[in-house]
């Protein structure tokens, strides 16, 4: 808790002057009492209507760039916080000494409530929408004086604090002011404020991030996308003292975090915009992103158990930090697959699972329109290190270019790694989007544009693919999806047929 300094300002009887009667000095934040401001406040007390029963507590003291001092005080009346009646004492050579406060008259109000705290808590918490956390339910409402509507409309009120999570996953610390006599809700506000931050990522340049102000810090907590958080490997949310996260180099641990936070936001927005999907699980709740996992870890992974993505920093040789946008989209899309078709991660369904992540990772990269990482049909081109031996992990337009992936069903063998058999469906998607020729069969397919190809794959995945879907069944599923979306016997259906035929799936 922020306990600062307490001093009492009281009018002392006969002489009529204001005099400081006591100072409570708490040292836990190291702030010293601004004696000159206190003296000025004492002198001003009569015209501010402050007298016996009034107390002020120094909250903040700073000197601006014109060498003016500004000291903030909170006001109390008979021990109750007077909310909305705080004071600022201004002193210095340039400005005249002055006090800013909306309350310039004596407070005359009974501090005896009609309602008891439990009744106030019941009324105050009734308006909370979402899931309350149990810990704070036992916190007693505090009696305060509500002065937010000015000195003419003072009200004795209970301040009820309810902590929990809003339906979209955004954390909430709701303060509700309940009239201590009538039970009327006077006002409420949420302590958790969303803010616009700036991310200076490793790959994405300078981007806007949705962050959250919590006390004096800013957190990588996205208030508009299901409460998505970016944390360190121990799942502790990452914070900054300013609204800027990262500096574009890996010397700052927030740089990778900025990229991961941005990648998650773009993935969320892509699914919302392109497929009207409300988060990976379509329940409005965000996944979690964890960065700096392990030591020089050359991978990134999705885990259903924590509903989270985890990124390594790479060893700098084979791979660089794995937080590029197509990798983010790839990982989160594994979450989508596990919430829909549940394609088993081995055999043909495993290749389709990996291809689904490459398809949507690529779609997210195009969607973001980021000038520092423009859209392409390569996977991991930003994270390739000098000793990887190729400038990307996988290519959808030419899968065999990585030296291990296959682009045609005739090359499929049982036991082939799912990251290489994915090439069959990756090349299908590329040919369907852009048109072209499969390099193994030499067969051509016409392109219908990426947007339609994405819709077809999404519908097939969510509507027709099952856990054991094979390439042949994927062909059937995408053809059904195409007919659902664009009608039977149309150019889209022809293109899907051509593209599968080109990659040897008949």
User: Which residues make up the interface to Zn ion (CB under 5 A)?
Assistant: 357
Active-site residue, from 90, 334, 408, 419: 419
CA–CA distance, 155 with 84 (Å, rounded to integer): 11
- Taking a C-beta distance cutoff of 8 angstroms, is the pair 415, 359 a contact? no
The residue (of 124 and 329) whose beta carbon lies closer to Zn ion is 329
Say how far apart CA 357 and CA 418 lie, in whole Å.
Answer: 12
Q: Which residue is nearest to Zn ion (CB)?
A: 357
How far is the C-alpha of 382 from the C-alpha of 60, rounded, in Å?
A: 46
CB of 356 to Zn ion, least distance (A): 9
Instruction: Return the C-alpha torsion angle 370, 376, 382, 384, nearest 10.
Output: 180
Between 361 and 436, name the residue whose CB sits nearer to Zn ion: 361
Catalytic: 408?
no
Give the Cβ contact number of residue 98 at 10 Å. Answer: 11
Of 122 and 345, the one with the shorter C-beta distance to Zn ion is 345
Residue with the two structure tokens 């398809």: 359
Instruction: Check 210, 219, 331, 493 and give the catalytic one.
Output: 331
Closer to Zn ion by Cβ: residue 128 or 301: 301
CB 285 → Zn ion: shortest distance, Å?
22
Q: Which is nearer to Zn ion, 419 or 450 (CB)?
A: 419
Residue from 85, 104, 105, 98 nearest 40 by CA: 98
Is the Cβ of residue 50 or residue 379 nearer to Zn ion in the bound state? 379
Phi first, then psi: give them for residue 85, nearest 5 degrees. -125, 35
Cα separation, 218 vs 301, whole angstroms: 27
Q: Please, what is the minimum distance in Å from the beta carbon of residue 291 to Zn ion? A: 17
> Smallest distance from the beta carbon of 445 to Zn ion, in angstroms?
25
Could you tell me the sign of the dihedral formed by the alpha carbons of 89, 90, 92, 95, in that order?
negative
Kindly state the smallest distance separating residue 172's Cβ from Zn ion, in Å: 34
Smallest distance from Zn ion to CB 342, Å: 15
Return phi, psi of residue 416, to 5°. -65, 140
Assess whether 70 carries a catalytic annotation: no
d(CA 461, CA 363): 15
Helices (H) and strands (E) in the chain, counts: 9, 25
Residues annotated as part of the active site: 331, 419
């Amino acid at each position: 808790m922020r306990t600062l300094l307490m001093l009492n300002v009281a009018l002392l009887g006969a002489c009529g002057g204001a005099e400081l009667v006591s100072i409570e000095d708490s040292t836990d934040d190291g702030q010293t009492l601004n004696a000159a401001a206190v003296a000025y406040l004492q002198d001003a007390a009569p015209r501010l209507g402050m007298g016996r029963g009034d107390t002020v507590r120094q909250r903040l003291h700073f000197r601006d760039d014109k060498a003016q001092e500004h000291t903030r005080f909170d006001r109390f009346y008979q021990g109750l916080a007077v909310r909305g009646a705080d004071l600022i004492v201004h002193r210095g050579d340039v400005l005249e000494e002055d006090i800013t406060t909306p309350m310039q008259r004596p407070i005359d109000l009974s501090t005896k409530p009609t309602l008891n705290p439990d009744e106030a808590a019941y009324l105050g918490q009734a308006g909370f929408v979402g899931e309350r956390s149990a810990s704070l339910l036992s916190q007693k409402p505090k009696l305060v004086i509500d002065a937010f509507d000015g000195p003419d409309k003072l009200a004795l009120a209970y301040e009820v604090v309810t902590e929990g999570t809003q339906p979209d996953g955004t954390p909430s610390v709701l303060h509700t002011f309940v009239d201590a006599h009538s039970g009327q809700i006077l006002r409420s506000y949420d302590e958790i404020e969303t803010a616009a931050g700036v991310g200076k990522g490793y790959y994405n340049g300078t981007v806007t991030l949705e962050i959250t102000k919590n006390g004096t810090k800013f957190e990588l907590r996205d208030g508009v996308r299901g409460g998505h958080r970016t944390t360190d490997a121990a799942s502790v949310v990452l914070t900054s003292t300013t609204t800027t996260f990262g500096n574009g180099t890996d010397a700052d641990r927030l740089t990778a975090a900025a990229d991961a936070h941005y990648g998650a936001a773009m993935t969320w927005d892509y699914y919302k915009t392109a497929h009207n999907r409300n988060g990976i699980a379509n329940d409005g709740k965000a996944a979690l992103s964890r960065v700096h996992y392990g030591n020089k870890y050359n991978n990134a992974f999705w885990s259903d158990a924590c509903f989270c993505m985890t990124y390594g920093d790479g060893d700098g040789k084979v791979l660089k930090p794995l937080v590029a946008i197509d990798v983010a989209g790839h990982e989160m899309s594994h979450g989508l697959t596990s919430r829909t078709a549940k394609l088993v991660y081995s055999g043909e369904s495993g290749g389709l699972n990996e291809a689904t992540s490459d398809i949507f990772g690529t779609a997210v990269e195009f969607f973001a329109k980021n000038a520092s990482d423009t859209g392409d049909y390569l996977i991991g081109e930003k994270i390739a290190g000098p000793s990887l031996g190729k400038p990307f992990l996988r290519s959808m337009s030419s899968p065999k270019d990585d030296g291990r992936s296959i682009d045609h069903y005739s090359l499929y063998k049982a036991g082939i790694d799912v990251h290489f058999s994915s090439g069959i469906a990756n090349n299908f998607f590329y040919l369907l989007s852009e048109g072209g020729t499969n390099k193994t069969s030499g067969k051509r397919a016409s392109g219908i544009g990426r947007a339609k190809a994405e819709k077809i794959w999404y519908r097939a995945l969510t509507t027709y693919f099952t856990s054991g879907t094979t390439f042949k069944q994927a062909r059937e599923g995408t053809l059904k999806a195409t007919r659902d979306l664009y009608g039977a016997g149309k150019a889209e259906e022809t293109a899907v047929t051509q593209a599968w035929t080109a990659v040897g799936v008949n």
